[in-house]
Amino acid sequence: MLEQAKVVIRELTVEDAPKLTALREQLDRETSFMLMEPGERQVTLKQVEDMLDSYDGSDNSLMIGAEAEGRLTGYLSVQGGKARRNRHSAHIVVGILQEAQGIGIGSAFFERMDTWAVAQGIVRLELTVMAHNERALRLYQKSGFEIEGTKRKSLRVDGRWVDEYYMGKLLPEQEPEQESPTSH
């Protein structure tokens, strides 16, 4: 088990692609709460680098990681909408290794994300979670997320149907910037 004092929460960069790839593959192996099954994730290092580069160049997407002893032990991605009508909204994916759970990484991720999201003008955060993932549900509810609906038979995990909850959180709105007449 890791100690929280040894964990650094930071924004991930293109140079972190190998670490992020290894982390996601390990998460796929050790938990059935992630979307992908072991061996199903077929992405190249270049694709992960491109994804991290796109996050770095975006004003409404963020990828942060928890690093301990030189390796990533968790990540949180926030992907903002691409169209004008949904740029204020962002979808979240989070994964934390079992050995790093229970020491505050999830709470630290959500605190950092909230501060960043408000500064970026994001008003809505959303995620899905398997209905039986009680630990994640507690974290999300503690972080201000509410269940907005249920996707029945959303996934098939180990031969069983699994429901997922849609969860959302509304953030304080910032005053929108006025468009100049020449910005159309």
Find the helix or strand (DSSP H, E) in which 63 lies. Answer: strand 62-68
Task: Calculate the CA dihedral of residues 144, 134, 9, 117 and round it to 10 degrees.
Answer: -30
**Per-residue pLDDT at 35:** 87
4-127 domain in CATH 3.40.630.30? yes
Summarised one tens digit per residue, pLDDT across range 160-178 is 999 999 999 999 886 655 5
**Per-residue pLDDT at 91:** 97
Q: Contact, 131 vs 141, CB < 8 A?
A: no
**Per-residue pLDDT at 154:** 97
Terminal alpha carbon distance of the chain: 54
Nearest to 92 by CA among 150, 140, 163, 39: 140
**C-alpha to C-alpha distance for 83 and 100, rounded to whole angstroms:** 36
**C-alpha to C-alpha distance for 143 and 113, rounded to whole angstroms:** 11
pLDDT along the chain (184 residues), means of 10: 76 96 94 86 90 92 94 96 94 96 95 96 97 96 98 96 98 67 53
pTM of the model: 0.89
**C-alpha to C-alpha distance for 93 and 106, rounded to whole angstroms:** 11
- Residue spans per domain, the chain: 4-127
